[in-house]
Chain A
Amino acid sequence: MAAIEVQNLRKTFPNGHTALADVSFSIPEGQFVCIVGRSGAGKSTLMRCLNGSLPLTAGTAIVDGQELIGMDKRERRALQRRVGFIYQEFNLVGRLTALQNVLTGRLGYVSFWRSMALFYTRHDRGLALDALERVGMLHKAVQRSDLLSGGEKQRVAIARALAQQPSVLLADEPVANLDPELASGVLEDLRRISKESGVATLLNVHNIVQARQYADRIIGIAQGRVVFDGAPGDFGEEALRNVYRFDREDSRAALAGVLEPLVLLDLDRALQEGEHRADTHERALEERL
């Protein structure tokens, strides 16, 4: 069964704005999917719908076996417990230590009275420490989280999501606030974790090059609709136009700045597979642009 199954999903806000017009896709377990799209395309709304924080307007969406439409409060909480969410701005509680932040990922599981007393069992603490270890942050476990650097904070946030023992991971632009180096590291971690534990992972990414480097599959969203859904290697000029330049007719020259890294990426891959020699690299680039 697919981890996420979305059919004709529509989301209209109370103010009349339709953020998602018609979105359908199906994501099997363990797949690592990047969602790309312009700001305001509805990517974040999609994420928030899928973790149950926003109610859907129409369509069907099934996340880890739970139908999102018509679920009651208890079902929603039970779902949110199994869906890890990672934010662009990390959203850690600054005054708590890294470990305490990760432990909040267990709150959905602990009993009411235990959570009142902030008493986590050995089992919960073990899971939290495992999660920290998996993102390479065990050594900072008792560091206050507002003293961590950006990349470290995001790793702790990922550990918090992992402590939930999620069956689905959603990440809303997890690397937009990080420098390119850290961003690659965090994306690598996310991909590794997704593969290790077979968790379906859906993330919004702004950088197409990163999306193409790390994703198993790219979904392009524009104006609340899916305009591209395919393998990273197929995300080329046409997809780029459909996702980012649907409302204007740009010359190739204007697109060049975005296209160039993509073409380079293709060429790099080809080079590694031995199709080109290095000296033809530049000529090939000129041809493609």
Chain B
Amino acid sequence: MQNNFPIIFFSSCLQVLGIFIVTFFILHLLPGDPIQVMLGESAALSDQVKLRAELGLDQPIYKQIINSFSQIMHGDFGNSIFTGAPIKEQIIFAMKNTYYLASAALIIAIILGITGGVIAAKYRGSSLDKVIINLSLFFISIPHFFLGPLLMLCFSIGFGWLPISGMDSPFSIVLPALTLSLGMLAIIIKMTRNCMIEIMESDTVRTARAKGMREWSITIHHIFRLVLIPLITIIGMQFGSLLSGAVITETLFSWNGLGMLLVNSIQMRDYPITQACIFVIAISYVLVNLLTEILYKIVDPRMKDI
């Protein structure tokens, strides 16, 4: 195969279609009549008929699928059942906040993770290496809903440095971003360290040393470029865990993102919003995976012919 971008792109499209079908049927899986579940059994009959027509549930199922697909392609997610406001605006607002939070977490994880991994690899076997490894093991076992309260206890209640929750001050992002990033940070540290050690012992690096290249120049030109390849894959793969971790983290810190919108909509039984949130989160995950795969092929020229 000369070029398999079309194949990757096609399979991503199939995934998007699959996600759409799964989220579409969520409403149909509701036990009993979805309209009665949402409005309550004592709702007036006229309200029930109105909502049924609004959600398009009075039409045959194939028509419903086509209608809702064309709606979503136009970026229209329908209206909220409780407020009647269009869901699109809420979703876009929440999406901005979630991406803001996720990218902050990503930046923290990448910067600290690569630094930690490089240090651990350079001083392999030393006590510093052991401290970094054990810390990353600790980070990996700690669930978001425990790490968050721990950070709150330490930095908000204990020292009083940072706001405990909400999004009022510009420093509000620090704690949720830290909470979200630590799991990924641990994986990046582990990956960077193991790759660095493997590459540092390779022939390329030995040749470069024999040529008399400077140590920092070897690190940047030879080692780091090769470490980048597996790192991109792992970061792309782990982005999904950032998105699903955001559900818990946002609820914990009252961060107005997709995760909190999702949890609130579930509690209010506002199912169209639930559907939209799940759809948007899954789609962004697929897009990131697609991006990772493309980036991977650009960074590693060896992958072009495979």
Partners in one complex: no
